[in-house]
A and B are shown apart, each in its own frame.
Chain A
Amino acid sequence: MKYCNVTIDGVKINVPDDMMILDAAKQAGIIVPTLCHLKGISATGACRVCIVETGGGKVQTACSFPVAEGMMVKTNTPKIREMRKTILEMIIANHNAECTTCVRSQSCELQSLAMIYGIEDSHFKKKFNQEPVDMSSATIVRDQSKCILCGRCVSVCNGVQNIGALGFIGRSIDMHVGLAYEHQLSESTCINCGQCIVNCPVGALKERDYLSEVQLALDDPTFTVVVQTAPAVRAALGEVFGLPMGTPVTGKMVASLKRLGFDYVFDTDFAADVCIMEEGTELLNRIRAGAHLPMITSCSPGWVKYAETFYPELLPHMSSCKSPQNMMGALLKSHFAEIKGIDPAKMIVVSVMPCTAKKFEVERQELEVDGIRDVDFSITTRELGRLIKKAGIDFKYLNDEKFDDFYGDSTGAAVIFGATGGVMEAALRTVADIINGNDLKEIEYTVVRGIQGVKEAKVQVTPDFTAKIAVAHGGKNMHFVMDKLAKGELSDYHFIELMACPGGCVNGGGQPIVDAKAKMHIDLRVERAKALYHEDSNILHYRKSHHNPSVMKLYETYLDAPNSHKAHHLLHTSYQRRD
């Protein structure tokens, strides 16, 4: 790699010659403002906020223009400041700036730039998109009046997720982000992953909020309201309250849920352990029968819709297991309701998920058991944060509390479900024990950990059996794997884990917003996952799903055995073509 000498605002630095000015400026201790830029994802140069002077009065965008030997960059001249201000004022004139009532207030990148540049009011005439808000989807709400056309959602939906649901339509002042044929979101190929939301700099994209419904349930004494929380939530909820990324807040989260008035606070991890029992058994059966291999996980509802939409012919490869969220709901409304003597119709199950697609999943009719929905409302980590704040709970200062008994019991295998490779590792821990008939000590399958897009490995389970596995996360990587599967190149594989969001659930579409600037320097997929692996190796007593005593008891007393008739009735499902 060649290096070059560059001077930025008088600071001399030596950087690789393919580095963009934006990154070089950071090394010189200078933050150049950006809006449309997303590290590694989008450098379209559309917003022009990052303009700098590159010598001879030439103006270039720092995000897309590389440094060169001897370059003299100025980022803070009167001319640049004036132009940036004009650009920002124009963007604001094109933006429905209803900041006081906007869900993204205080996490809005446009708002913070407006403050930095001292823009009290846009001098320009307000003209923004008047299209009605698209409320058609159960998961994502699209408000074009706030869209600043930066294209980050388009870049993510196309380049990272490989879905291509969102795109630019029309030109000039009619240009807008839309779905093919101007369809509504619910009619599109959108897989509900919500990556567009967590990458939107403003409030043009947000989750469908179910807080008022949840609050109504909590306020109604005739309902038993049960809450379950997914593993990745505890790895990120602290960020909403200003705690450093990667701080595990399981105890505080449980304490706040109890204060909010949930009658029972349970852990989706319990169902993740059940899921491993069911999925592991299903896998062993398929291996014995030699049918529909490789088997593919079905925990990620974004992935499930992706498969139904883009690879319907490969649906037989899907595990028939419901996701942990829905397994939990089904068990709560059957077994738990039965032992507590609660009428399932009088029970409300709320799930807190790092995910927007879970909102779509809970509405799937094929998941219902005898006409009863498994989960009534699925809310995101962000929504829970708002619920806690609204209730005046001082989250940071709460003492840790524990999940309620039985359905709050979990293992390290379950908690790592939240990171890419986690389901695979959890399954391997159990399947290897079952096949070998003993309690193996080597349980950390680091080969499936980490944020490499596609991880493939051969794991020797017994001297005679080596499992061929693959793990992928994010649409583009899922596409890569599924394309190979479709071509018959993975026919000797046994098990594949696919997660719709890059990094897995820790980086789900329902997680707290991290602005693009912060994402330039930290990889939140890595940081948040650390909290989960910490719980697995340091906090939780049991680290294998089949060691969860409550799960074992559930099978003894209620379900009989994994994949039993009853287990199938409650915990398994089917899929539909959506092509």
Chain B
Amino acid sequence: MKFITANFDQYDGKDIQAYIGLDGFSGLKKAIEMGPLATIEEVKESGLQGRGGAEYPTGRKIEQARIEKAERKFVICNADEGEPGTFKDRELIKKDIYQLIEGMIIVAYCANANEGVIYCREEYDWMHEHICTSILKCKEMGYLGDNILDTGFSFEISLFSGAGSYVCGEGFAMCESMEGKSGRPRSKPPYVKQEGYLNYPTLVINVETLSAITAIMKFGTSNFTDLGTPDCPGTKVISISGKVNKPGVYEVPFGKTLEEIIALAEGVKGDKRIGFVQIGGASGGILPESALKTQFTYRELKSKQVSVGSGAIVVADEDDNILDYLENVGQFFIHESCGKCVPCREGNRQLEILLGKFKHKTATIDDVKMYKDILDMMSEASLCGSGRTEPVPFKTAFTYFEDAFALGGSHEIL
């Protein structure tokens, strides 16, 4: 299935003429032809939702950005792909960056923003030169700069490298980071779309979402909505990793079962059974093997307390211990929490202690209550989306693997 990744391996990812030869920038031209309002309607029609993990309807997001009035307005491409098990944005940048840039231009044109930034994660420094060169080529060809394609619309893009903090993928933390401050989320309201980078209206939008916009404009909305299911149209670019034979990036239409998707990676290493899978990134839900018939759609996953998230699927085999896995996820959050709000900072610290007790079978009924209290409090009272979703793997693991959370000193199961 190739829609967003249609250009993958069709050219070297660098040659702008080759990209144009593949009908590159036809999406932009179509958007210009239709005008911003109709283009926004088109994106709405496609049902596209934010592919970074927040799942916000993209059309509405661009519309809201358009309404904001200010001296300056920014479109930031969120390429701070730091979600463990997620590497699809890397491929989209490496193999088809022009599609991404084209998406940025379309969005900026619709939102009436004149300044764009690609906020790229620090660990992708080996792609920084590629990004800059591609931006310059677009500028040389007149797709960036003043009066793009004689529309009177001007747009520039620059590259900003993060400094390695996971939470900078959050809109406000990203703005803070770009302003030269520590990457910590601000309190809302006002929202990023109103007062983001340098306190100007800012539209933060994920690499895949931007790439999808280009593809939708190029191939037509109906070709996108024909894919997937009626309530969850289109495709998703998925990163599969873990104990599979062929980890990698796969584009799939929504509606496939988890099993079918994992099969694309040619099964589990060593012919073992699947133990469990984590879906959507570090703060994604964990499902047991028995749930693999679940369809990969926003609604179906939600019914299992899981979300699409970034589209990461990490596969563990039957020998992997769920508590070891959770400990690992917890350590990631302890390492990456920005530290600003109590629920995320202290919650993760205490969770690690409690997980240790479960692991060593010394947990008491009190510990179980604390475990649940912390998770409830974190998911409702954390300052940013990161803190609010961190409890998901811990909650789903508790739901689906209750044996692992047995109390110490007895075999009583809660």
Q: Which A residues lie at the B interface, using CB under 8 A? A: 43-49, 51, 59, 61, 64-66, 79, 82-83, 86-87, 90-91, 93-94, 123-125, 127, 149, 151, 168, 170-175
B188: A residues at CB distance < 8 A: 64
**Cβ distance A50 to chain B, nearest Cβ, rounded Å:** 10
B341 touches A173 (CB 8 A): no
Sample of 11 more A-B contacts, CB < 8 Å, known A46-B340, A87-B342, A124-B350: A43-B187, A44-B340, A46-B383, A64-B188, A90-B346, A90-B374, A94-B346, A149-B339, A171-B339, A172-B337, A172-B338
A45 touches B348 (CB 8 A): no
B339 touches A173 (CB 8 A): yes
B381 touches A59 (CB 8 A): yes
- Residue of B with least CB distance to A170: B339
For residues 350 through 403 of chain B, which have their beta carbon under 8 Å from a beta carbon of chain A?
Answer: 350, 353, 366, 370, 373-374, 376-377, 380-383
A44 to B188 Cα, complex, angstroms: 9
- Residue of A with least CB distance to B369: A123
A48 touches B346 (CB 8 A): no
- Residue of B with least CB distance to A47: B342
A170 to B340 Cα, complex, angstroms: 10
B187 touches A172 (CB 8 A): no
A83 touches B376 (CB 8 A): yes
Check if B189 is an interface residue, CB within 8 A of chain A: yes
**Cβ distance B132 to chain A, nearest Cβ, rounded Å:** 28
**Cβ distance B211 to chain A, nearest Cβ, rounded Å:** 31
User: Known: A59-B381, A124-B350. Is A91-B189 also a contact (CB below 8 A)?
Assistant: no
A105 to B338 Cα, complex, angstroms: 30
A123: B residues at CB distance < 8 A: 366, 370
User: Known: A46-B342, A90-B346, A149-B339. Is A171-B182 also a contact (CB below 8 A)?
Assistant: yes
A168 touches B346 (CB 8 A): no
**Cβ distance B45 to chain A, nearest Cβ, rounded Å:** 28
User: Known: A83-B377, A172-B348. Is A65-B189 also a contact (CB below 8 A)?
Assistant: yes
A43: B residues at CB distance < 8 A: 187
A127: B residues at CB distance < 8 A: 349
A44: B residues at CB distance < 8 A: 187, 340
- The interface centre, meaning the residue of A47, A124, A168, A171 with most chain B CB atoms within 10 A of its CB, is A171
| 7 pairs from A and B in contact (CB 8 Å cutoff) | A79-B380, A82-B373, A86-B374, A86-B376, A124-B353, A171-B339, A172-B335
A45 touches B383 (CB 8 A): yes
A87: B residues at CB distance < 8 A: 342-343, 377, 381
A61 touches B373 (CB 8 A): no
Check if B289 is an interface residue, CB within 8 A of chain A: no
Check if B287 is an interface residue, CB within 8 A of chain A: no
B187 touches A173 (CB 8 A): no
B381: A residues at CB distance < 8 A: 48, 51, 59, 83, 87
From A51, A125, A171, give the contact of B165 (CB < 8 A).
Answer: A171
B343: A residues at CB distance < 8 A: 48, 87, 90
From B345, B373, B382, give the contact of A173 (CB < 8 A).
Answer: B345
The SS class assigned to the B binding surface is helix
Q: Top 6 closest A-B pairs, CB basis?
A: A175-B339, A45-B187, A90-B346, A172-B337, A64-B187, A59-B380
A151: B residues at CB distance < 8 A: 340
B27: A residues at CB distance < 8 A: none
- Residue of A with least CB distance to B344: A172
B335: A residues at CB distance < 8 A: 172
B380 touches A83 (CB 8 A): yes
Check if B207 is an interface residue, CB within 8 A of chain A: no
From A65, A124, A174, give the contact of B339 (CB < 8 A).
Answer: A174
Check if B336 is an interface residue, CB within 8 A of chain A: yes
A161 to B337 Cα, complex, angstroms: 29
B336: A residues at CB distance < 8 A: 171-172
Check if B62 is an interface residue, CB within 8 A of chain A: no
A124: B residues at CB distance < 8 A: 346, 350, 353, 370
B50: A residues at CB distance < 8 A: none
A61: B residues at CB distance < 8 A: 187, 383
A170 to B377 Cα, complex, angstroms: 24
User: Known: A48-B383, A51-B381. Is A90-B182 also a contact (CB below 8 A)?
Assistant: no
Check if B334 is an interface residue, CB within 8 A of chain A: yes
**Cβ distance A470 to chain B, nearest Cβ, rounded Å:** 29
- The interface centre, meaning the residue of B167, B335, B345, B348 with most chain A CB atoms within 10 A of its CB, is B345
B184: A residues at CB distance < 8 A: 168, 171
Check if B233 is an interface residue, CB within 8 A of chain A: no
**Cβ distance A34 to chain B, nearest Cβ, rounded Å:** 13
- The interface centre, meaning the residue of B165, B348, B373 with most chain A CB atoms within 10 A of its CB, is B373
A171 to B381 Cα, complex, angstroms: 19
A48 to B337 Cα, complex, angstroms: 16
B370: A residues at CB distance < 8 A: 123-124
A124 to B345 Cα, complex, angstroms: 14
A93 to B339 Cα, complex, angstroms: 15
A338 to B353 Cα, complex, angstroms: 68
B383 touches A66 (CB 8 A): no
- Residue of B with least CB distance to A169: B182
A48: B residues at CB distance < 8 A: 341-343, 381-383
From B187, B337, B342, B382, give the contact of A91 (CB < 8 A).
Answer: B342
A171 touches B338 (CB 8 A): yes
A503 to B373 Cα, complex, angstroms: 44
User: Known: A47-B342, A124-B350, A149-B345. Is A173-B380 also a contact (CB below 8 A)?
Assistant: no
From B167, B338, B341, B353, give the contact of A45 (CB < 8 A).
Answer: B341
B167: A residues at CB distance < 8 A: 171
**Cβ distance A68 to chain B, nearest Cβ, rounded Å:** 10
- Residue of B with least CB distance to A175: B339
User: Known: A65-B189, A87-B381, A172-B336. Is A46-B341 also a contact (CB below 8 A)?
Assistant: yes
Q: Mark B279-310, 1 if CB is under 8 A from A, else 0.
A: 00000000000000000000000000000000
A48 to B167 Cα, complex, angstroms: 19
- Residue of A with least CB distance to B376: A83
**Cβ distance A375 to chain B, nearest Cβ, rounded Å:** 40
A123 to B339 Cα, complex, angstroms: 21
B346 touches A91 (CB 8 A): yes
**Cβ distance A422 to chain B, nearest Cβ, rounded Å:** 37
Check if B234 is an interface residue, CB within 8 A of chain A: no
A171: B residues at CB distance < 8 A: 165, 167, 182, 184, 336-339
A83 to B374 Cα, complex, angstroms: 8
A91: B residues at CB distance < 8 A: 342, 346
A49: B residues at CB distance < 8 A: 342
A164 to B380 Cα, complex, angstroms: 33
A45 to B189 Cα, complex, angstroms: 11
Check if B52 is an interface residue, CB within 8 A of chain A: no
B350 touches A125 (CB 8 A): yes
Check if B311 is an interface residue, CB within 8 A of chain A: no
**Cβ distance A117 to chain B, nearest Cβ, rounded Å:** 14
- Residue of A with least CB distance to B353: A125
**Cβ distance B384 to chain A, nearest Cβ, rounded Å:** 10
Check if B169 is an interface residue, CB within 8 A of chain A: no
From A82, A86, A173, give the contact of B334 (CB < 8 A).
Answer: A173
A87 to B381 Cα, complex, angstroms: 9
Check if B347 is an interface residue, CB within 8 A of chain A: yes
B346: A residues at CB distance < 8 A: 90-91, 93-94, 124
From A86, A93, A94, A149, give the contact of B377 (CB < 8 A).
Answer: A86
A49 to B346 Cα, complex, angstroms: 13
- Residue of A with least CB distance to B379: A59
A93: B residues at CB distance < 8 A: 346, 350
**Cβ distance A20 to chain B, nearest Cβ, rounded Å:** 10
- Residue of A with least CB distance to B165: A171
User: Known: A83-B380, A90-B346, A93-B350. Is A172-B339 also a contact (CB below 8 A)?
Assistant: yes
A91 to B182 Cα, complex, angstroms: 22
**Cβ distance A336 to chain B, nearest Cβ, rounded Å:** 53
- Residue of A with least CB distance to B382: A48
A66 to B341 Cα, complex, angstroms: 19
A43 to B336 Cα, complex, angstroms: 23
A49 to B347 Cα, complex, angstroms: 14
A79 to B373 Cα, complex, angstroms: 10
- Residue of B with least CB distance to A87: B342
